[in-house]
């Protein structure tokens, strides 16, 4: 079995656990995680994320994007900078990531900042369409708002709703628009009944695996920085929820992940 961690902040992992990118990749490989997508969150870490990926091009790809949690910091010049980097069409840059909508933080939902979130999301979806790249989407308490933007964008390569936590009906709405659902550490917690049930019922071909490391720790590692190798824990929980064999699950998710986020 091989695994593709489709959402990490590997630059932050390296800082939090004091290990090199090379060592983190080696550790991941020992758990059969052979491919990793590194996502960015604001303009000032574009260069670092790119440099991290360049250290292991056989195993790492990266995405550039402006995260909604930092909407107060983002400026129009950052969109211009993002566009200029995407225009270079580096084959190792395989996504617009991490972008999306944030409604769980009340201070980011004032009329002014909500408008700005929507404006930056639309701009980055436009980049995805122009440069023919998939998107890796943040969505917290915005599962009802985000599909409106995705339906309007009509992306040819769609993308994934990362770290999904929600109901089957909410997930199915994204799947019906052609998007994948990112399965992360949430399903390793027995109390996450709604999300576990959604992941159990969704079509296998609509699922991807991710760690969101160093965030979203899996059960048993609470309070510790998450790492790509712990994708195996999430995979085990997924196998317990699904009727398919572990081999069938692993192969289907590998093929979906590779098609969406690996070198074209």
CA–CA distance, 260 with 90 (Å, rounded to integer):
16
7 in a labelled binding site: yes
Q: Is 138 annotated as a binding residue?
A: yes
Instruction: Judge whether 59 is annotated as a binding position.
Output: no
- Decide if 46 contacts 64 (C-beta within 8 A): yes
Question: Dihedral through CA 175, CA 177, CA 179, CA 180, nearest 10?
Answer: 10
CA separation for the pair 217, 12 (Å, rounded): 14
**Helix, strand, coil percentages for the chain (3-state, nearest 5):** 50, 15, 35
Check the annotation: does 9 bind a ligand.
yes
11 is in an annotated binding site: no
Task: Give the span between the Cα atoms of 63 and 128, in whole angstroms.
Answer: 11
| Separation of CA 178 from chain center | 16
Q: Is 78 annotated as a binding residue?
A: no
Q: What residue numbers does the annotated binding site for a divalent metal cation cover?
A: 7, 9, 98, 138, 162, 212
Binding site: what residues are annotated? 7, 9, 98, 138, 162, 212
């Amino acid at each position: 079995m091989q695994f593709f961690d489709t959402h990490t902040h590997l630059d932050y992992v390296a800082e939090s656990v004091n290990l090199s990118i090379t060592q983190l990749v080696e550790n991941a490989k020992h758990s059969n995680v052979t491919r990793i997508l590194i996502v960015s969150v604001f303009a000032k870490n574009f260069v670092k994320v790119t440099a991290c990926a360049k250290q292991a091009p056989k195993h790492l790809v990266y995405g550039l994007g402006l995260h909604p949690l930092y909407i107060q910091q983002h400026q129009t010049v950052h969109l211009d900078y993002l566009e200029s980097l995407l225009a270079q069409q580096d084959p190792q840059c395989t996504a617009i990531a991490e972008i999306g909508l944030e409604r769980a933080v009340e201070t980011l939902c004032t009329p002014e900042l909500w408008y700005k979130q929507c404006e930056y999301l639309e701009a980055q979806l436009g980049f995805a369409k122009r440069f023919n790249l998939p998107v890796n989407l943040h969505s917290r308490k915005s599962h009802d708002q985000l599909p409106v933007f995705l339906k309007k964008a009509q992306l040819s390569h769609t993308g994934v709703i990362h770290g999904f936590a929600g109901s089957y009906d909410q997930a199915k709405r994204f799947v019906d628009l052609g998007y994948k659902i990112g399965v992360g550490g949430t399903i390793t917690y027995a109390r996450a009944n709604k999300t576990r049930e959604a992941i159990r019922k969704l079509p296998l071909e609509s699922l991807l695996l991710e760690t969101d490391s160093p965030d979203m720790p899996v059960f048993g590692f609470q309070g510790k920085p998450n790492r790509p190798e712990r994708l195996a824990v999430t995979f085990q929980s997924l196998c317990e929820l699904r009727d398919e064999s572990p081999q069938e699950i692993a192969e289907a998710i590998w093929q979906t992940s590779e098609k969406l986020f690996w070198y074209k």
